[in-house]
Structure 1
Amino acid sequence: MKPVYNFQRRLMNDIDLIYNNSFGLAFQWKRDNGHNHNKVQLVFRDTGLFVTKEELLQFSKNIRRSIKHYQMCGSCPKKETCRSILVESPVPQITFAMNTEELGNVQDLVEGTLFQLNLDNYIDSLFKD
């Protein structure tokens, strides 16, 4: 167990956490790591996406479109285990298969990340003047 803890501690020293929930997390790499600081690392399930804010906005739209299109899953008895909902990622070649719970969790993760990014930009703009 100790190596995992040390890895987690080291990782938390290398990132600026933006938002997290029980499904995943979003962060930016700290400035001294040589990563692109205009991008957000979004990690959920077994997936990591390194995206711009514009790509995150597109992903949010894709999630909302999938929620609207797959409302029929609401009364299905298999909705928790069936991954029949397809969500286009911000990368056109990748589509995620999710169930209704995962879809709600990824929506919260993306929307929470966008909210926090916008809030941070707003606060930064107040102190620039």
Structure 2
Amino acid sequence: MQEIKQIYHNNLGTAFYWRKENDIVLDKVQLVFRETGFYFTKQELQLFKRCIEDSYQQNSSCDDCELKNKCHKFLLKTPCLQIDLAVSMDELNAVKDLIEGTLFKINLDEYLYGQGMN
């Protein structure tokens, strides 16, 4: 089994880089939550973040509903055009945290070990 370098995790899932022959493969991020795994570039992660924001806007009419946090009627589009996920509002919040935390950590590492080393 290949080793991984974890980027970020929360109670819903995890994001990590794969290691191949003792090198970290930085061009894509493995994102795993529920029973689903995605292998995304940084740009696809940013697109997924926008899909999440769109889902919040489309489902704002449910704000007064007592069941909105447990209901699985929210469709979350993904950067994979053929795949939409049915999620509850709690899961949508957790996916949002997972994506935003992952992007924050990637950007921080790029700054600290890239342009910030000057």
Same fold (TM over 0.5): yes
Q: % of aligned pairs identical?
A: 41
Name the structure where helix makes up a greater proportion of residues: 1
- Secondary structure of 1:30's aligned partner: strand
Structure 2 residue aligned with 1:40: 29
The structural deviation recorded for 1:99 is: 0.9
1:121 correspondence with 2:110: yes
**SS of alignment partner, residue 57 of structure 1:** helix
RMSD, matched Cα: 1.9
- Contact 2:19/2:25 (<8 A) preserved: no
Larger Rg: 1
Larger strand share, 1 or 2? 2
**1:90 matches 2:79:** yes
Counterpart contact for 1:88–1:96, Cα < 8 Å: yes
Instruction: State the alpha-carbon separation in 2 of the partners of residues 73 and 48 from structure 1.
Output: 28
In the TM superposition, residue 84 of structure 1 has moved relative to its aligned partner by 1.0
Q: CA deviation at 1:33?
A: 6.6
2:39 aligned with 1:50: yes
Q: Which of these residues, 80, 94, 101, is aligned with residue 105 of structure 1?
A: 94
Letter in structure 2 aligned against 1:46: E
Q: CA deviation at 1:76?
A: 1.3
Q: Which runs of 5+ in 1 are unaligned?
A: 1-9
Asked if structure 2 preserves the Cα contact closer than 8 Å seen for 1:25 and 1:44, the reply is yes
* 2:63 paired residue number: 74
Structure 2 unpaired stretches of 5+: none
Q: Which amino acid aligns with 1:57?
A: Q
1:10-46: CA deviation from partner (whole Å, max 9, x where unpaired) = 77xx111000011111000124278853000000011
Q: Which amino acid aligns with 2:62?
A: C
Where 2:57 maps in the other structure, the secondary structure is: helix
Aligned residues: 117
